[in-house]
Amino acid sequence: MIETAEDYREAVLSQQWWEKRSFVGCDFTEADLRGLRTQGCTFDQCDFTKVDFEGSRHEASAFRSCTFDRSVLAGTRWSSCSMLGSSFVDCRFQKVAFTECDLSLVSLSRNRLSKVDLSGLRLREANLTEADLTGADLRGADLTGARLAGAKFEGADLRGARIDANGLVQANLAGVHVDTETAVAYAAAHGLVIH
């Protein structure tokens, strides 16, 4: 059953278990989704503005082209989820855990992601412009085509991460932990001739 354009504004839906439910264009603005558990659910073009997700768990669920504006994501767990094309604005990411998730085409511009574990995630063509990734774990992440201008990476771990030449030119990687391959690619992207 697909729920289309349903109004869940300010609804209290905390501690519920949702399995294989589909939502299209639904409005969850200011809903209480604390402790919610989803498995195999799909959310397309849904609005999660000011939603409290604290402590929620999501497994194999898709949140495609959704809006997360000032949403509370503290203590949430996302496993094998797709966030394709979703937009995050001024969200709280404390103690968030992403495992094997696809964040391709996601907008995380200007969000504070310091010390967040983003290792192994797919962040292809993600917008990380002016995001604070200080101390973040990005080991093995796929940042191909990501927009990195103005992003803060100091102390971040980018060992094994995939970053194309454009990203290496945009990003300020001073104080970042990288492997030899990324260091060589960074030097080449900045015009050094390596012998």
Task: Summarize pLDDT for 101-149 with one digit per residue, the tens.
Answer: 999 999 999 999 999 999 999 999 999 999 999 999 999 999 999 999 9
pLDDT at 173: 87
Nearest alpha-carbon partner for 108 in 57, 75, 151? 151
Q: Which two tokens stand for residue 133?
A: 């990734």
Q: Is residue 100 a contact partner of residue 79, using CB atoms and an 8 Å limit? A: yes
Give the mean pLDDT of 89-97.
Answer: 92
pLDDT at 195: 75
Q: Is pLDDT at 1 greater than 80 in this prediction?
A: no
Give the mean pLDDT of 2-14.
Answer: 94
What are phi and psi for residue 79, nearest 5 degrees?
-125, 125
pLDDT for 49-92, tens place per residue?
999 999 999 999 999 999 999 999 999 999 999 999 999 999 98
